[in-house]
């Protein structure tokens, strides 16, 4: 299995960051197999969604409705509502697996692989790309 860790700066705001092009570049010329993408953080996740047409903002809005940034959370260190960031990976998992055919991601027309980060206290993220040849 081939694997590599990439670093991303998500900044000091909630973000849905499209990493599809990095994934596509990484699997190019690898043939057939599976790309597994994993975020080794307790407060970030990965989503396969449409981006650029408002869906990324809709995802952040939906997570804001489901997981409000207020004082209800028992996990209370950091910025207000930080505890919700620790619950988010139960809804937006920290992994995604995508088929790769002839060195190309087998995503649907409008699908993108996105890093989802609600944690404004941690601006730097690592994402592990792993390729399992078929």
Domain holding 27: CATH number?
2.60.120.460
String of DSSP letters for 87-119 = HGGGTS-SEEEEEEETTEE---TT-EEEEEE--
| Half-sphere exposure for 37 (CA within 13 Å, toward CB) | 30
How many distinct structural domains can be found in the chain? Answer: 1
Quote the domain boundaries for residue 91.
Answer: 2-133
- Distance separating alpha carbons of residues 106 and 120, to the nearest angstrom: 32
* pTM of the predicted model as reported, rounded to 2 decimal places: 0.94
Helix, strand or coil, per DSSP, at residue 61: helix
Element (H, E) at 22: helix 20-27
| Model confidence pLDDT, tens digit, residues 15-40 | 999 999 999 999 999 999 999 999 99
pLDDT at position 62, please? 97
| Model confidence pLDDT, tens digit, residues 65-115 | 999 988 888 887 878 778 899 999 999 999 999 999 999 999 999 999 999
Beta-carbon contacts of residue 28 (< 8 Å; ≥ 6 apart): 103, 104
Q: Do 48 and 113 contact (CB within 8 A), yes or no?
A: yes
Tokens 């690898």 belong to: 30
């Amino acid at each position: 299995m081939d694997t590599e860790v990439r670093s991303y700066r998500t900044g000091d705001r909630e973000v849905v960051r499209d990493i599809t092009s990095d994934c596509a570049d990484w699997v190019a010329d690898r043939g057939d197999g599976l790309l597994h993408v994993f975020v080794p953080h307790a407060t970030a996740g990965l989503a396969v969604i449409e981006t650029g047409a408002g869906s990324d903002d809709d995802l952040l809005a939906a997570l804001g409705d489901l997981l409000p940034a207020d004082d209800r959370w028992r996990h209370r260190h950091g910025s207000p509502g930080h505890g919700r960031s620790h619950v988010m990976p139960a809804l937006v998992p920290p992994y995604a697996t995508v088929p790769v055919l002839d060195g190309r991601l087998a995503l649907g027309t409008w699908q993108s692989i996105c890093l989802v980060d609600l944690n404004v206290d941690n601006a730097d993220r690592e994402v592990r790309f792993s390729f399992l040849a078929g």
